[in-house]
Amino acid sequence: MSSPLPVNAKRNQTGAASSVYVNENLLSSSFDRADTTARLSSSPLPSHNNYGTSPSKSIHSNMNYGTQDHLPSSRPRSTFGDNLSVDLPDDEVAKAVRRHLVSASPSNSHGFLRTPSPHRSRASSRLSHRDTDEEDEIANVHQLAGGAITHDIYKWSEDQDRKARMKRSKSMLVPRPETSDPALQNLKDPGGFRRHFVFDRAAKKGRKPPGWITHSFVDFLTLYGHFGGEDLSDDEGESSEDEEDLAGGSDERTALLRQARANATEGTATPTKAVFLLLKSFIGTGVMFLPKAFHNGGLLFSTLFLSFIAAVSLYCFLLLVQTRNKVPASFGDIGGVLFGNSMRMLVLVAITTSQVGFVCAYMVFVAQNLQALIEAVSNCKTNVPLHYLILVQIAIFVPLAMIRKIQKLSVFALIADAFILIGLVYLYYYDFLTLALEGVGKVEWIVNPASFPMFIGTAVFTFEGVGLIIPITESMKEPKKFPKVLSWTMLFITLLFISIGLLSYLAFGDEVQTVILLNLPVSPVVNTIQGLYAMAICLSIPLQLFPAIRIVETGLFSRSGKHNPIVKWQKNMFRLAAVILSAAVAIAGSSDLDKFVSLIGSVFCIPLCFLFPPLFHYKAVANHWRHKAVDIAIIMFGLITMAYTTYITIGLWTQESEPPAPISRCTPHV
């Protein structure tokens, strides 16, 4: 760095040797400071030893600063150049310069100036320097003759000292243990305190922390406990373990927050496992309604529009994932954060009503399959009305609805998955067999102008799985891979749905039934397939009902029933009422299941898929006019589609003068 000496103290450019009038004590510690101090305190300052003054010939004299003849004896030669530049850092240079500056003695009542003694310790020198205020030093310097000229040196020294102190204070590091528990980092998320408590209790007991993230295909059930990202777990069966933590009591030494443990469960699902979770989320009863939906829409229109619905649904799912990355919360809480509590309630109402709608459609589906199965087994001698078969299901669903821990339903879910797979494989087999033996049935090749709007609602109903998008995203070990996994899975599901609807419609033509299994001939194999599929859907109904019950329970009951039997029985009565209400709605819509499914898809599923995700993305993520334009276009498409399909479906339902004949594969028994 360059010397902080004043300009008028630098050497002449001619470099001629002349007598030096500037005191070399400013650069060397070899000068007798004690003698200088004595002269300063007893006599006027001599011209050749004027601390803080300018030499009388400094302006026009030749001064060879930094030459070999004037190198300070106490400094290494390598540290000085021709123009007094040094290779040391600024703070080291400032420390060296500061040793030769005049400072005021705080103990001197006469205000005499003094220089630091070379024999004083560094600690005492630093203390005396810190005890001296900058403004006092500058004032004392100006008391010297010509002090204004050397002011820059003192000022530069003080600036370097101030910067060094600031640097030291900024670089101070107070080691703090990093939080190793992600549950502590996410306490603000819904259910954060509860998850941390459960993990902490399990670690204290030496057990593996219970994780809701999926570790196996059977654990898919647990995702319904976090439907839409909501924490829907019920803790009424955990009282005995909860009290054990408090049995020992607490005192003033008890920590309010226990030490974090590495006990938090993180996402562990691989892309392959996520694919199976997505397949289970989308493949259920809806695929059995597609052949009739193709009949309502027409072959070409249904194929193209189902592909379009799949593409828009995928885009909306990805919008929801992007929004969730920006606003880490559940589906409902995202709406609450962006638009207030009213939007959160609207999302929860849509989730609840859609799940209840699925339950009602499933009840009708099971009732129709049981009706056909009873006819086949009894050789068409017995025909049980649908509403009786729906009421019978109440006796099965009420006990299952009382289950608080959804993991206990995992066995039923595994059985249901196996039965659904068997039913789909046999349906493919019989479609190809029918086409090979009997050819193509009577079909509407382009579009069915009378009933094509009903296809739209059924298509949306079939692709409804938005409630499990957030939980499956969180279940992945690498969530950034989820968009790619979701895209390829949706492509496979779309091809599966199109092939089922297309082949079955081509095989049976205009005779296709609302539930395609009813088109299969009466045989022991078909009866077995039909019974297994009906049982699979019957076992899936509690899963669909669980999120709706827990969402409403959370809003109605602020207290837990663990310690209050009255509250617990109130919850039990509510669950009983929910099952009975679902059965009543199912009976009302059982006469026209295809219209009933279309109405559910139009009113309840379209908002969840085509309205909320683009609306939330528009508010939280979209920062380019193209993104905003696409979001607005999807919202407008959703609103128009919902209004139009709902109006047409209700109109077709009310125009029927008499209810359709009961579905039967039997000729009238005489």
Structure confidence at residue 540 (pLDDT): 75
Helix, strand or coil for residue 354?
A: helix
Going by C-alpha positions, the residue among 8, 5, 154, 13 that lies closest to residue 82 is 13
Going by C-alpha positions, the residue among 205, 215, 221, 220 that lies closest to residue 263 is 205
| Phi then psi dihedrals of residue 402, to 5 deg | -80, -10
Residue 163 pLDDT level (bands cut at 50, 70, 90): confident
Rounded CA-CA distance 112/99 in Å is 18
Burial (CB count <10 Å: 0-12, 13-18, 19+), residue 645:
buried
Structure confidence at residue 636 (pLDDT): 94
Angle between helices 625-655 and 593-600 (to 10 degrees): 150
Q: How many alpha carbons lie under 13 Å from residue 538 in its C-beta half-sphere?
A: 20
Above 50 in pLDDT, residue 72? no
Degrees, nearest 5: CA angle 393-397-402: 160
Above 70 in pLDDT, residue 334? yes
Helix, strand or coil for residue 269?
A: strand
> Does any domain span residue 471?
yes
pLDDT digits (tens, 9 = 90+) for 426-440: 889 988 999 998 888
Structure confidence at residue 409 (pLDDT): 60
Residue 158 pLDDT level (bands cut at 50, 70, 90): confident
Burial (CB count <10 Å: 0-12, 13-18, 19+), residue 78:
exposed
> Does any domain span residue 228?
no
Above 50 in pLDDT, residue 328? yes
User: Structure tokens of 528?
Assistant: 């077995």
Q: Which residue, 138, 170, 202, sits at the end of a domain?
A: 170
Above 70 in pLDDT, residue 221? no
Angle between helices 386-401 and 565-589 (to 10 degrees): 160
Going by C-alpha positions, the residue among 287, 533, 279 that lies closest to residue 415 is 533
User: Structure tokens of 449?
Assistant: 């102008």
Name the residue with higher pLDDT: 121 or 89.
89
Report, as an integer, the average pLDDT of 155-176: 65
User: What one-character DSSP code corresponds to residue 337?
Assistant: H
pLDDT digits (tens, 9 = 90+) for 466-485: 777 777 777 777 878 888 88
Structure confidence at residue 60 (pLDDT): 42
Structure confidence at residue 261 (pLDDT): 38
Name the residue with higher pLDDT: 582 or 450.
582
What b/e readout covers 347-374, taking b as 16+ CB neighbours within 10 angstroms?
bbbbbbbbbbbbbbbbbbbbbbbbbbbe
Above 90 in pLDDT, residue 529? no
> Does any domain span residue 529?
yes
User: Structure tokens of 600?
Assistant: 């559910």
Report, as an integer, the average pLDDT of 249-278: 56
What one-character-per-residue DSSP string does 408-476 give? Answer: GGHHHHHHHHHHHHHHHHHHHHHHHHHHHHH------SS--TTTHHHHHHHHHHHT--GGGHHHHHHHB
Alpha carbon 20 to its chain's center:
74
pLDDT digits (tens, 9 = 90+) for 611-668: 999 999 999 888 889 999 999 999 999 999 889 888 888 887 777 655 555 555 665 4
Q: Which residue, 105, 136, 170, sits at the end of a domain?
A: 170
User: Structure tokens of 252?
Assistant: 């003033």
Helix, strand or coil for residue 138?
A: helix
Count of residues making up the chain: 670
Task: Say whether both 281 and 165 belong to one domain.
Answer: no
Task: Say whether both 286 and 155 belong to one domain.
Answer: no
Q: How many alpha carbons lie under 13 Å from residue 423 in its C-beta half-sphere?
A: 28
Q: Which residue, 170, 188, 223, sits at the end of a domain?
A: 170
Q: Which amino acid belongs to residue 52?
A: G
User: Structure tokens of 435?
Assistant: 């086409």
pLDDT digits (tens, 9 = 90+) for 392-429: 888 888 887 777 665 666 666 667 777 778 888 888 99
| Phi then psi dihedrals of residue 410, to 5 deg | -60, -35
Q: Which amino acid belongs to residue 18?
A: S
| Phi then psi dihedrals of residue 405, to 5 deg | -100, 110
Find residue 113's DSSP bridge partners. 104
> Does any domain span residue 406?
yes
Of the candidate ranges 18-27, 247-256, 462-471, the one whose mean pLDDT is the lowest: 18-27
**The domain containing residue 635 runs over which residues?**
271-655
Above 90 in pLDDT, residue 91? no
Distance set, CA 236 to CA 183, 403, 454 (Å): 22, 10, 43
Structure confidence at residue 39 (pLDDT): 45
Going by C-alpha positions, the residue among 472, 417, 413, 408 that lies closest to residue 233 is 408
Above 70 in pLDDT, residue 234? no
Q: What is the mean pLDDT of the chain?
A: 70
User: Structure tokens of 616?
Assistant: 């939330």
Angle between helices 299-326 and 452-462 (to 10 degrees): 40
Report, as an integer, the average pLDDT of 356-366: 86
Q: How many CB atoms lie within 10 A of CB 516?
A: 24
Rounded CA-CA distance 432/307 in Å is 23
Structure confidence at residue 124 (pLDDT): 46
Q: How many CB atoms lie within 10 A of CB 7?
A: 9
Cα dihedral angle (85, 90, 91, 93), rounded to 10 degrees? Answer: 10
> Does any domain span residue 260?
no
Of the candidate ranges 200-204, 459-463, 603-607, the one whose mean pLDDT is the lowest: 200-204
Rounded CA-CA distance 331/635 in Å is 17
Task: Say whether both 160 and 283 belong to one domain.
Answer: no
Q: What is the domain-level CATH number for residue 426?
A: 1.20.1740.10
> Does any domain span residue 533?
yes
What one-character-per-residue DSSP string does 585-643 give? Answer: HHHHHTT-HHHHHHHHIIIIIHIIIIIHHHHHHHHHT--SHHHHHHHHHHHHHHHHHHH
What one-character-per-residue DSSP string does 47-115 give? Answer: GGG-TTS--TTTTTS---TTSGGG--TTS-GGG--TTS--SS-HHHHHHHHHTTS-EE-TT-TT--EE-
Q: How many CB atoms lie within 10 A of CB 474?
A: 20
> Does any domain span residue 335?
yes
> Does any domain span residue 209?
no
Structure confidence at residue 182 (pLDDT): 52
Above 80 in pLDDT, residue 269? no
Report, as an integer, the average pLDDT of 322-337: 87
| Phi then psi dihedrals of residue 103, to 5 deg | -130, 155
Task: Say whether both 288 and 422 belong to one domain.
Answer: yes
Structure confidence at residue 146 (pLDDT): 64
Residue 144 pLDDT level (bands cut at 50, 70, 90): low
Of the candidate ranges 114-128, 323-337, 338-352, the one whose mean pLDDT is the lowest: 114-128
Helix, strand or coil for residue 283?
A: coil
User: Structure tokens of 162?
Assistant: 């101030």
Structure confidence at residue 137 (pLDDT): 45
Structure confidence at residue 548 (pLDDT): 82
Please report, rounded to a whole number, the percentage of residues in the chain having pLDDT higher than 90: 9
Of the candidate ranges 89-93, 143-147, 511-515, 630-634, the one whose mean pLDDT is the lowest: 143-147
Report, as an integer, the average pLDDT of 525-546: 80
Strands 103-104 and 113-114, bridge-based pairing? antiparallel
Q: How many CB atoms lie within 10 A of CB 191?
A: 19
Going by C-alpha positions, the residue among 400, 297, 316 that lies closest to residue 611 is 316
Rounded CA-CA distance 286/352 in Å is 18
Rounded CA-CA distance 9/390 in Å is 106
Above 70 in pLDDT, residue 300? yes
Alpha carbon 403 to its chain's center:
29
Structure confidence at residue 284 (pLDDT): 73
Report the first-to-last Cα separation within the chain, whole angstroms.
Answer: 115
pLDDT digits (tens, 9 = 90+) for 496-518: 999 999 999 999 888 888 778 88
Q: How many CB atoms lie within 10 A of CB 597?
A: 29
Rounded CA-CA distance 310/446 in Å is 20
Domains: count for the chain: 2
Residue 202 pLDDT level (bands cut at 50, 70, 90): confident
| Spatial CB neighbours of 84, under 8 Å, sequence gap ≥ 6 | 2, 3, 5, 27, 65, 66
